[in-house]
Chains A and B, each alone.
Chain A
Amino acid sequence: MHHYIIKRLLWFFPVLLVTVTLLFFLIQVIPGDPIRAAFGDESPLSEEQIAALRVELGLDKSIMARYFDWLWDVMHLELGISFYTGSTVKEQILARTPVTVGLVTLSVFTMLILSVPCGVVSGYYHDKWPDWVLRFISILLISLPHFWIAVLAIIVMLTVRGYSISIEYINIFLNPIDAIKQLFLPAFIMALRPFGVGTRMVRSAILEIMEEDFIRTARSKGLVEKIVTRRHALPNALVPVVTFYGLETIIAIGAAVVMEGIFGIPGIGSLVVDAARSRDLYVLQGSILILLLFALFLNLIIDLLCAKLDPRIRYENE
């Protein structure tokens, strides 16, 4: 296990480097100049001001020089300043991270609580009428655009219950109960699609495992069903399920971007969208970098968990 952990941790850095590099060059494709892109053709700045800003931001250097500057800055977590607010990107990200972390965590918990029991139950009823109902419901949930559901939910809540969209968001680490109350609706809507996919996923994982030879062997040697399930079926079903929920967490980060925009939640996601709309280069770069770090970190955790659960993965890589 130690070998695997070390190997996987070492592998983390090249992937991080490739990702950071890719992010940099993707943004450099901006046609023209980032300053002009941000301010448009009718820029309030004079030519001299633009030239001065270019020097200040290091845009007059060659692309490779800028690339190494960016790597250096990233290592020092210096992510530049916003063209509009003038505050540093780091400050904005730090202020917004707890909200997004809270939203994504809550949504992942909701999807786990909903989809795992549903998947297990439907596994026992497969090819009967619950199968059709579940398949229909899950595809319906997968197909519903969650931003539309969010809009409808806000309409219903506003008209029926006098729900109000909060202006100020509570830090989930300081006051968890109130924060959960506040984030529950968007988190629940985000969890609907993975609930549909997850139900099918858990169900098929269980069905597949129960037909394996080693389950038949375990049964034929006279083990009670409880032990067959706990010792033989469950650990083997867990690997695909853990991988699935890990990847769903990464997708949930993407969903959070949209959900934060609709509910006006001041998280990283709305920062990304606002920066993309106004083409605020450094904010966009920095906020996407943070989302990427989250995603890479999650990937790392999934891999380590899978190796812990399945010795085959450990030995294959040693």
Chain B
Amino acid sequence: MNKSLQKKEARMKKHIQRLGFFFRDEPLGTFGAVLFLIVLSMAIASPLWTEKSPTDVSIPNVFKPPSSEFWFGSDNLGRDVWSRFVYGSRTSLLVGLSSILLASVAGGILGIFSGLIGGKTDLIIQRIMDALLSMPAIVLAILIMAVLGTSVLNTILAIAVAYFPRINRLTRSTAISLRESLFVESAIVAGASKIRISIMHVAPNCIAPWLVYATALLGTAFLAEATLSFLGLGVPPPIPSWGRDLSENLTNFEFAPWLCIFPGLGITMAVFAANFLGDSMRNIFDPRLKKA
């Protein structure tokens, strides 16, 4: 009992030490992590950050400049911009995280499958990926949104489809290099099935590069959501979304410039946090790139 407690303590110490190393070696990554936690807490505990509802229309309070009552002012329908800012993080994180999760899982599985099987199946899958990769991701996402119609779920789908070929490429190349490795060969000799090899041997070794790339893509996904919503092809009203809030108030900027500044600030904050985090993740997991 005592021994296991000691062990636990030692492990905790090690974890704390590692965290300390992270803070010391990656000051920018720490900054990103803190910023990301702030955005995350805004999304999870929105009611703690603001008491007002983001969708309550109040005509007497139209276009109020920032004040102690309306921290970030109010918009053309008298809605509180600060609470739309806080609740906007929900949309951004929900769409960004779930689309990257979806893209990573689908792209990862297909990549490992395609890389391990090889041959004609691989060739066909990769030509389809070529076609998907040849269009700019945002154009592909716009196309899918036009086909499916605007909704939160469709936005997630569109961004996931636009980015999953990239993740597929990455895991495929990792899987191909692993296919030649000694431990996979020994597993084949030992008579393990293809499914067992891909789940037990290949997949765990794909996780590090896959995680790094997924984090790096997270910022892009936030940006894609904001762009789609900005173009009126993403999250439909009245759901608060930074991109849509920005575009809805474009015509009012002359007398209400705050309406154009704060939503953009929100997007920048989320993307900034994700990019710093992704950059540091890459440095930690791939020390070869540290210099670069």
Interface of B is mostly: helix
Closest A-B pairs by Cβ, 7 of them: A254-B136, A148-B264, A204-B292, A276-B146, A143-B272, A254-B138, A19-B131
Cβ of A257 and Cβ of B275 under 8 Å apart? Answer: no
Interface of A is mostly: helix
Cβ of B246 and Cβ of A148 under 8 Å apart? Answer: yes
Cβ of B260 and Cβ of A151 under 8 Å apart? Answer: yes
Which A residues contact B (CB, under 8 angstroms)? Answer: 14-15, 18-19, 21-23, 26-27, 29-31, 126-127, 132, 135-136, 139-140, 142-145, 147-148, 151-152, 155, 158, 200, 203-204, 207-208, 250-251, 253-255, 257-258, 261, 272-273, 275-277, 279, 284, 288, 291-292, 295-296, 299
Which one of B136, B223, B268, B291 contacts A127 once the chains associate, using CB atoms below 8 Å?
B291
Kindly specify which of B11-19, B100-108, B226-234 makes contact with the partner chain.
Answer: B226-234
The CA-CA distance from A64 to B31 in the complex, in Å, is 54
The CA-CA distance from A204 to B131 in the complex, in Å, is 29
In the complex, what residues of A have CB within 8 A of residue B136's CB?
Answer: 250-251, 253-255, 257, 291, 295
- Can you report 11 A-B residue pairs in the complex whose CB atoms are below 8 A from each other? A15-B127, A18-B131, A136-B28, A147-B246, A148-B268, A203-B292, A258-B227, A261-B231, A277-B231, A291-B135, A292-B134
User: A-B pairs with CB below 8 Å: how many?
Assistant: 140
Question: B276 near A: Cβ within 8 Å?
Answer: yes
The CA-CA distance from A284 to B257 in the complex, in Å, is 34
Cβ of B271 and Cβ of A143 under 8 Å apart? Answer: yes
Cβ of B268 and Cβ of A144 under 8 Å apart? Answer: yes
Residue in chain B with minimal CB distance to A126: B291
Cβ of B147 and Cβ of A295 under 8 Å apart? Answer: no
Residue in chain B with minimal CB distance to A275: B146
Question: B279 near A: Cβ within 8 Å?
Answer: yes
Cβ of A295 and Cβ of B134 under 8 Å apart? Answer: yes
Q: How many residues of B contact A (CB 8 A)?
A: 48
Question: With A27-B147, A284-B143, A284-B146 given, is the CB distance from A145 to B135 under 8 Å?
Answer: no
Q: Which of B190-248 contact A (CB under 8 A)?
A: 219, 223, 226-227, 230-233, 243, 246
Question: With A18-B128, A19-B131, A139-B272 given, is the CB distance from A253 to B227 under 8 Å?
Answer: no
Question: B71 near A: Cβ within 8 Å?
Answer: no
Cβ of B272 and Cβ of A140 under 8 Å apart? Answer: yes
Cβ of A151 and Cβ of B28 under 8 Å apart? Answer: no
The CA-CA distance from A29 to B143 in the complex, in Å, is 11
Cβ of B246 and Cβ of A151 under 8 Å apart? Answer: yes
Residue in chain B with minimal CB distance to A193: B223
Question: B284 near A: Cβ within 8 Å?
Answer: no
Cβ of A145 and Cβ of B223 under 8 Å apart? Answer: yes
In the complex, what residues of B have CB within 8 A of residue A277's CB?
Answer: 146, 231-233
The CA-CA distance from A31 to B268 in the complex, in Å, is 35
Cβ of A147 and Cβ of B230 under 8 Å apart? Answer: yes
The CA-CA distance from A136 to B31 in the complex, in Å, is 11
Report A301 CB to chain B, min CB distance, Å.
13
Question: B132 near A: Cβ within 8 Å?
Answer: yes
Question: B130 near A: Cβ within 8 Å?
Answer: yes
Cβ of A145 and Cβ of B145 under 8 Å apart? Answer: no
Residue in chain B with minimal CB distance to A285: B143
In the complex, what residues of A have CB within 8 A of residue B21's CB?
Answer: none
The CA-CA distance from A15 to B243 in the complex, in Å, is 34
